[in-house]
Amino acid sequence: MRVAIPNKGRLREHAIRLLKLAGVGPRFVGDRSLAAPMAENYRAIFVRAADIAEYVADGAAEAGITGHDLVRESGRELEELLELGFGACRLVVAVREESAVEAAKDLTPGTRIATSFPRLAGEYFASLGIPVTLVRVSGAAEIAPHLGVADAIVDLSSTGSTLRLHGLREIDGVLSSTARLIAKPGPSDARDALSELAAALESVVEARARRYLMANVPRAKLEVVQAVLPGLSGPTTMRILNSEEWLAVHAVVDADKVFRIVGRLKGLGAQGIVVTAIERLMP
């Protein structure tokens, strides 16, 4: 089974790292490799992120890792099997800082929009009922308003710093995107291998957002501890040898809640608190 992976750019390293953590990753990848063996019968092929949707839709690869924005821009019918938790960005409409326009709906008919996402930009302005002129560029749309070839842009942004650097101001969002595992919809011989790949990647994606927390808590506080530590299906509770007053509790918790949970456990008198990363999680 062939898995199309970006050969360069922002998504490449994240995609390779995720596959490696899931135990299927290509082990040796040169900067210029076109293909590499992965675990079992999987084989990586390295192509441009922007071409991956086409390759998968045409059957040149059975699966691919690329951005949701690129999948949508391709216009091809594809199944997104899994959200991978990296490559977050938004496709936005931006105008020059000094423009009086506050929202995309206020752009006048005939406004020239520079974009490398002509399909998504076209659909967006059609939905607003504004006939715009699309100026197709293959990248660096930010420069187009300064060169006088466009009045606004539709481009990707994550922190907004590139827009600011180019004297542009976001006025509306078109689409939110993250990296996805994609495949051609419908039955195929690769379905089992695809499901296994999706499950392996999902176990890593789930694990990344969680931590394993262990603590010794006073037995008398167990009920309150349970409220603080929900765990996947309630905390695991263990006796501690030679101690009637203390219990050990273990639970899987959301990474972004660890800080608060640890504080509350300490407040309940917990001791020996340990928080560790989880490699894979299959709830």
Residues 78-97 touching ligand AMP, rule: CB under 6 A, are 87, 89
Residue 139 or 186 having the CB closest to ligand AMP: 139
Residues 126-185 touching ligand AMP, rule: CB under 6 A, are 156, 158, 177
Residue with tokens 């050990």: 248
Residue 277 CB, shortest distance to ligand AMP, in Å, is 24
Stretch near ligand AMP under the rule CB under 6 A, chosen from 27-35, 37-45, 63-71, 124-132: 63-71
Give buried/exposed letters for 235-270 (b at 16+ CB in 10 A, else e). Answer: bebeeeeeeeebbbbebbbeeebeeebbeebeeeeb
Element (H, E) at 144: helix 144-147
What is the total residue count of the chain? 283
CA distances from 77 to 57, 64, 68, 88, 220 (A): 7, 14, 12, 22, 57
Residue 92 or 113 having the CB closest to ligand AMP: 92
Cα torsion angle, 267, 272, 275, 280, sign: negative
Residue with tokens 């990586």: 44
Residue 89 CB, shortest distance to ligand AMP, in Å, is 3
CA 147 to chain centre: 33
The 18-57 contact track toward ligand AMP, x by CB under 6 A, reads: -------------------------------x--------
Residue 24 CB, shortest distance to ligand AMP, in Å, is 22
Residue 153 CB, shortest distance to ligand AMP, in Å, is 13
Paired strand residues for 212: 252, 276
Residue 201 CB, shortest distance to ligand AMP, in Å, is 17
Stretch near ligand AMP under the rule CB under 6 A, chosen from 2-10, 98-106, 198-206, 272-280: 2-10
Size of interface with ligand AMP, in residues (CB under 6 A): 14
Residue 71 or 265 having the CB closest to ligand AMP: 71
Is 65 an interacting residue with respect to ligand AMP (CB under 6 A)?
A: no
At a CB cut-off of 8 Å and minimum separation 6, what does 212 contact? Answer: 250, 251, 252, 253, 275, 276, 277, 278
Give buried/exposed letters for 106-136 (b at 16+ CB in 10 A, else e). Answer: ebeeebbbbbbbeebbebbbeebebebebbe
Residue 156 CB, shortest distance to ligand AMP, in Å, is 4
Stretch near ligand AMP under the rule CB under 6 A, chosen from 65-73, 96-104, 209-217, 219-227: 65-73
Q: Is 120 helix (H, G, I), strand (E, B) or coil?
A: helix
Residue 139 CB, shortest distance to ligand AMP, in Å, is 7
Q: Binder to ligand AMP among 22, 55, 57, 69 (CB under 6 A)? A: 69
By CB under 6 A, name the binding residues for ligand AMP. Answer: 6, 8-11, 49, 67, 69-70, 87, 89, 156, 158, 177
